[in-house]
Amino acid sequence: MDIVFDTSLVHESTIMVAVIGYVTVFTSLVLLFMVFRSLPKLIAVLSKMRTKTKETLANNGNWQKKQSEVTDISGEVNAAISAAIHHYLNEIHDDEDMVLTLQKMSRTYSPWSSKIYSVINFRR
């Protein structure tokens, strides 16, 4: 029995769908290639922009002021904040009951959940 490819059975619409599909996939692959190819350059440009803004802020003196404002919080203030958060989070759990109730549920038999069918080895 020979397999014969008959081109008269292939319609124009099927060829058009195949061509559009191939063009769509190829175009998306080219676009993804271009995006991934240019991604390191974009990251480098963004990194340079960040360093320039940090340098300009450091030159103006605003950067040092903003850093000192953040680090001026004392340990006592941090301890008070963490204690308040701890008490608030523990207060939420005080209303919960610590009672677990376990009840055995009767389930109907289903062959889909039966283990016997997965244990049987079919020998061929």
Mean predicted lDDT score pLDDT of the chain: 79
**pLDDT one-digit tens code per residue, 6-57:** 888 889 999 999 999 999 999 999 999 999 999 999 999 999 998 888 777 7
Q: What is the pLDDT of residue 96?
A: 58
Q: Measured between alpha carbons, how far is 35 from 40 in angstroms, rounded to an integer?
A: 10
Chain center to CA of 25: 24
Q: What is the mean pLDDT of residues 58-82?
A: 70
Q: What is the pLDDT of residue 91?
A: 73
Tell me which residue of 54, 70, 51 sits closest to 62, measured CA to CA: 54
**pLDDT one-digit tens code per residue, 75-124:** 888 888 998 898 888 776 555 566 767 677 776 777 676 666 666 655 55
DSSP 91-121: HHHTT--------PPP----GGG-SHHHHPP
What is the identity of the amino acid at 61?
G
Q: What is the pLDDT of residue 78?
A: 86
Where exactly are the structural domains of the chain? 11-58
Q: What is the pLDDT of residue 88?
A: 84
pLDDT band at residue 4 under the 50/70/90 scheme: confident
Rounded to whole angstroms, what are the CA distances from 65 to 21, 68, 78, 86, 121? 58, 5, 20, 31, 75
CB 31 within 8 A of CB 38: no
